[in-house]
Amino acid sequence: MSIYESGEDYLLAILVIKERKGLCHSIDVAEETGYSKASVSIAMKKLRENGYIQMNQDGTLELLETGLAIAKKIHERNTVLTDYFKQLGVDPDIAYHDAHKIEHDLSDQTFSKIKEEYLKIKNKRGKS
């Protein structure tokens, strides 16, 4: 089952919020993403129906196995790409935004090669 780019962004937002606060509500997702409460509500319904998240009795959101895997993948891509671009001398804000633009579209093979280069640079700088 494929997921749309904004769906990946919502899953990532849930992961980041839960890491930061310990729990996550739809309102937190709206605040994190800048999307309206109505848009977030519709998206959460789709994510629940597709088995990516569940909403608990108290209204907190939980990532299910598939949702968690996607969120972690996108989080890793964003982190690696942002750091790699910064290592290349790109302004941190631009690096973050550029990473966000391409994190969803890169093939696994391309990301893997970028990650290899990123780690080489990171390790080389760590030894200096």
**58-75 confidence digits (pLDDT tens):** 999 999 999 999 999 999
Q: Quick one: tokens of 27?
A: 């309102």
Which uninterrupted H or E stretch holds 25? none
Whether 23 is in a domain gets the answer: yes
The enclosing domain of 23 has a CATH number of 1.10.10.10
The 10s digit of each residue's pLDDT in 19-49 is 999 999 999 999 999 999 999 999 999 999 9
Same domain, 44 and 83: no
Last residue of a domain, one of 69, 86, 106: 69
Distance CA 43, CA 40 (A): 5
State the pTM of this model: 0.88
